[in-house]
Structure formats: structure tokens, C-alpha cells
Amino acid sequence: MAASRMQLLSPRNLSFLGRGRTELFAVSGAPKRAGDGPRGRALNSSPVSSRTISSVSETRRGLPREKMTENGVSSRAKVLTIDTMNPTVKKVEYAVRGPIVQRAVELERELSQGVKKPFAEVIKANIGDAHAMGQQPITFFRQVLALCSYPELLNDSTFPEDAKSRARRILQSCGGNSLGSYSASQGIESVRQDVARYIERRDGGVPCAPDNIYLTTGASDGIVTMLKLLVCGEGATRTGVMISIPQYPLYSAALAELGAVQVNYYLNEEKCWSLDISELQRSVDEARTHCNPRALCIINPGNPTGQVQSRQCIEDVIRFAAKERLFLMADEVYQDNVYADGCQFHSFKKVLFEMGPEYSSTVELASFHSTSKCYMGECGFRGGYMEIINMDNEVKAQLTKLVSVRLCPPVPGQALMDLVVNPPQPGEPSYDNFIKERTATLSVLAEKAKLTEQVLNTVEGIRCNPVQGAMYSFPRISIPEKAVKEATANGQQPDMFYCMRLLEETGICLVPGSGFGQKDGTYHFRMTILPPTDKLKILLDKVKEFHHKFTQKYS
């Protein structure tokens, strides 16, 4: 019975996108290499099982498996094959960059080669990559980064003084005054101080110690590192980690790789993707029959679902975590992306401390932030931080040791994180322009969030919850029974089938809901709200038209 429950909860059975690796990642042809003639390729594709090489008795005999071909070239079976590679890596799935995106890239190439398509360009609404969609970087941030990269510019009178003083401060914290030096593994000390002050301001004065801040290579790095610390045990005592469904697939991917048990709790689509404590309870109780649930991950504002949690909900979650002895992980990378009236971002840290010492001195929490989202959208710099609260001191020392192996997060990303938490202040020369740029970006996002919801809800067979925050809509789509059958016959998830058709017919690249997880029998897609407004309108109209035609065709 435990086994069947496990199956129910395991990532493989989550109606996730792939059936097998071949569907997930198409191999783009044999690499062209010198000396890799037909024989080499034949070898590559030959179904020689290399499982035997892991047999001690075989290898001990010192008889490598090789045979001589007619011209005396020995053709050895590969050391590393799909059968002899790390099995946990094979289980990893990551839909946001899955087969649909690879096909989109191919289509772009075909278009550029003049191949005729029913569309003139591919519009990628699959990933929260703001600058790629035309969002402009904050001028002040880029000025400081340029000054730090090439300090000769500190003599250039066209740069504002506040940008220069910020650059000088960052450079003074770098070994040899260079971004090219390693920083401390935990991150540059002055940046961690600035992060701590930012958190204190954000949380209405709740104290924050720089020593609890770890700078990271994007938020993903911090999340994976924390999960890594948490995993232990075997079989029924193996660490379980609770994640929302739908989820951001970094979580399922990391858990698969770490061999942890993914414990799903479902967000309530009918109530605007809200989180019900009773569902958390059902989930943890069920999980306890076959694993040891030790952590609870929350994404707020939600990815892919766009909901913003109420203060009450966060309090309930914290109480639940305390009662059930769960380490809390709060993914708060969209903390500035709140659009809906009446919604507000509440950090888990702040709510925790407002609940008094019974909670604030005991509940273990890691929260994550990043330079990639909000109004910055600086994904390429891979900047981020995590704050840890109530972590056991010995574990903290182990965490510090663990991050030291990778030496340090990228220093330009650390510098950028510093600017995000310490932007221009009133009275400084760059302040007005900074506020103007930030406000413009956030209001355009708010507009696009509303537009997306409105247009999608005019389509029969599409139902879209309000995009309260973050950067995505995750509408539910009706897929006719006939289309479901055709998809299944093709070995595809129905919403993958739908999104692939959409891509081929319109050039619009979305991610099927199955890549994030969804209730059995329901179908969704995730669409970013990031394309420029005019393009977003076209995109939404095309989706509308496509859905109509698709439904007609398969009805």
C-alpha cells in the first residue's frame, strides 16, 4: 500500500511532461567530429548494453570489452552510457526549457533560413526572461556595473556621482579593488550588510543579521543548496519535501536529482490558487506513511499560478510548519511583482516575527530572493541571496563549508544584488530617474497582467484566475476528448500536444501545465505576461483564435 501511495506521489507519475527521455530532449543529431566516421556513429547508436561494465567480476579480469574491426581500429563500448549514468539525473525533468522550447529554437532557425511558416516570428512566452522580451534595464544599475567593470570610467564626468560612489564602495569591498577577485564564499560582506538593512526596512524593522545572509548564483542555487542540506535517510525514513502543485519545476528537478521524495500539496484553483491548510494536512499525513516530510516549500507570489498569499494564510502556514516540524522554504523572488488591488506582499520572515517568540525563536526558515525578477529582470547576472532563520549553528557551519567548495557566487551578480537592495535614495542625482524607470516597468507589468486575464477569460474553454502577482498566467484549458485521444496515441500529454500545435500554427511558445503539475484530468498552460503590450495583444488574439479552431477541429 505504501508503495502504491509512493507511486501516486512520485514526480514520474505527476502527469509531468515527459513519458521518457527521448520525448523530453531530442538529440540534435550526432555531433560532427573529426575521426568520427560512420563507424563511430554506428557505435554511438548501437544498442550495446554497457551495464556489464559495472560488474566487478568482469572488470577485475582486466578484459576491456572491445572488438577489432576490419581495418584494425578497435571499437570500444562507451564508458558512460544511458544505462550506466547516474540514475537520479535521468529522473530530472525541466519543462521550462523542454522540447517545446527546443522546437521553438528550430522554428526560429527555419524562419531565418527563409522557410515558409504560417507566422512571421516566434514569440517566446515560456520563460520569465524580461530583457529578452524588451524590458529595459535600470540605467543606474548598469552605470554602476560599467564603472565597476572598467574603473577608468570613474574619471568620466558624464556618470552621476551617486553611481560613482556606489561603484567605489563595491570595489573597495573586492580584493584588489577588482570584480575579478573571488569574494568570501558567503558573499561580499558589505553586500550582505546592505541586504540585511534592506530586509529590515522591508519588514518594518524586524532585525536581520548579515551573518544569516548568503549570496547565491540566482535563487535556484540557494534553493538547491538548502534542499541538499535537508536530504537524508533511506526508504521510509527518506526526506520528503512538500511542494505546491502546480510548482516551479526547479523543485521537482532538484528533488529528483537528490533522490528526495516529492510530497505534493495542491493549490485550490477554484479559490484563485489559494493554499488550504487542510490540504497541507492531508498531504503531510499521507506522506508520513512512506517518507519523512521535513520541509515545506512555498512560492509567494506564485509561480506559475500568480496568486499572492494573504497575511492570514502565511500565519497559518507557519503554525502548520511549527506543529508538523517542517523546515520552511519561502521562495519570494517575485516580492515586488504584486498587481491586484487589495493584494500585498508579506514576507514569511516578517509574519514569523510578528507571531512572537514561540514561533520566531524556533521555526526554521530560509527565504530566497534574486536579481532576475521584480522590476530588474536581470536574469543573466545570476544574482541572488538567501536568509536563514533559526538554523542550527553546526548546520550553518556546514552550509558555509558547502558553499565554499564553489568558491563564490559571480561577483558582478553580487554587485547587482547590492544595487537592488541599496538603490538611489531621495536627494541623490539618480533617484528621480530610478523611481521613474521602476514605476514604469511595474505599471506596465500590472497592465499586462490585467490584459492577459481579461482576454483569456473571453475565450470559451479557457478560464484564467486573476494574475495577482509574479509574471505568469496559468489558465485552465478544455481539451476535447478527441484531442486527448490523439495526444495519448502519440505518447504525448494532452496539453503538450495542444502547445505543440499552437507553436507550429502560430509561432507562440508556451509551456504545458503538465510541466508544472496539475490535478489529473485538468489541462493548463503557463504563459508569461512579459511580451511588449502590442505583441502581447497579438499573442492573446492568436491564442484565442487557435483555441477556437482547435476545439472545432476535435469536437
Side chain identity at residue 521, one-letter code: G
How far apart are CB 103 and a second copy at their closest, in Å?
A: 14
How far apart are CB 527 and a second copy at their closest, in Å?
A: 17
Kindly tell me which of 277 and 397 has the beta carbon lying closer to a second copy.
397
Q: CB neighbours of 217 closer than 8 A, spacing ≥ 6?
A: 382, 383, 384, 406, 409, 410, 413
Q: How far is CA 129 from CA 114, 126, 311, 471, in A?
A: 27, 9, 29, 10
**190 contributes a contact to a second copy by CB under 8 A:** no
Select from 360, 257, 243 the least CA-distant residue to 304: 243
C-alpha neighbours within 13 Å on the C-beta side of residue 218: 12
**544 contributes a contact to a second copy by CB under 8 A:** no
Query: All 3 cell numbers of residue 420?
Result: 537592488
d(CA 519, CA 497): 17
Stretch that binds a second copy, among 213-221, 270-278, 485-493, 534-542 (CB under 8 A): 213-221
How far apart are CB 148 and a second copy at their closest, in Å?
A: 8
**181 contributes a contact to a second copy by CB under 8 A:** yes
Q: Which of 100, 129, 318, 368 binds a second copy (CB under 8 A)?
A: 129
Stretch that binds a second copy, among 111-119, 203-211, 417-425, 499-507 (CB under 8 A): 203-211
How far apart are CB 479 and a second copy at their closest, in Å?
A: 26
Query: All 3 cell numbers of residue 358?
Result: 514561540
How far apart are CB 139 and a second copy at their closest, in Å?
A: 8
- 78, 50 Cβ separation under 8 angstroms: yes
How far apart are CB 554 and a second copy at their closest, in Å?
A: 31
Q: Give the Cα-Cα-Cα angle 135, 137, 142 (nearest 5 degrees).
A: 165
- 374, 336 Cβ separation under 8 angstroms: yes
How far from the centroid of its chain's Cα atoms is residue 154's Cα?
Answer: 36
Q: Which of 8, 27, 277, 440 binds a second copy (CB under 8 A)?
A: 27
d(CA 457, CA 4): 38
Select from 345, 260, 270, 332 the least CA-distant residue to 295: 260
Binding to a second copy in span 219-278, by CB under 8 A = 220-221, 224, 228-233, 236-237, 250, 253-254, 257
C-alpha neighbours within 13 Å on the C-beta side of residue 96: 16
Binding to a second copy in span 458-517, by CB under 8 A = none
How far apart are CB 552 and a second copy at their closest, in Å?
A: 35
Q: How far is CA 87 from CA 26, 95, 259, in A?
A: 19, 19, 10
**347 contributes a contact to a second copy by CB under 8 A:** no
Kindly tell me which of 181 and 458 has the beta carbon lying closer to a second copy.
181
- 264, 243 Cβ separation under 8 angstroms: yes
Kindly tell me which of 11 and 466 has the beta carbon lying closer to a second copy.
11
Binding to a second copy in span 278-337, by CB under 8 A = 288-289, 292-295, 322-327
> How many residues lie near a second copy (CB under 8 A)?
150
**395 contributes a contact to a second copy by CB under 8 A:** yes
Binding to a second copy in span 430-459, by CB under 8 A = none
**393 contributes a contact to a second copy by CB under 8 A:** yes
The count of other CB atoms within 10 Å of the CB of residue 509 is 24
Binding to a second copy in span 81-110, by CB under 8 A = 81-82, 84-87, 89-90, 92-94, 97, 105
Kindly tell me which of 222 and 466 has the beta carbon lying closer to a second copy.
222
d(CA 489, CA 376): 44
How far apart are CB 301 and a second copy at their closest, in Å?
A: 19
Kindly tell me which of 126 and 422 has the beta carbon lying closer to a second copy.
126
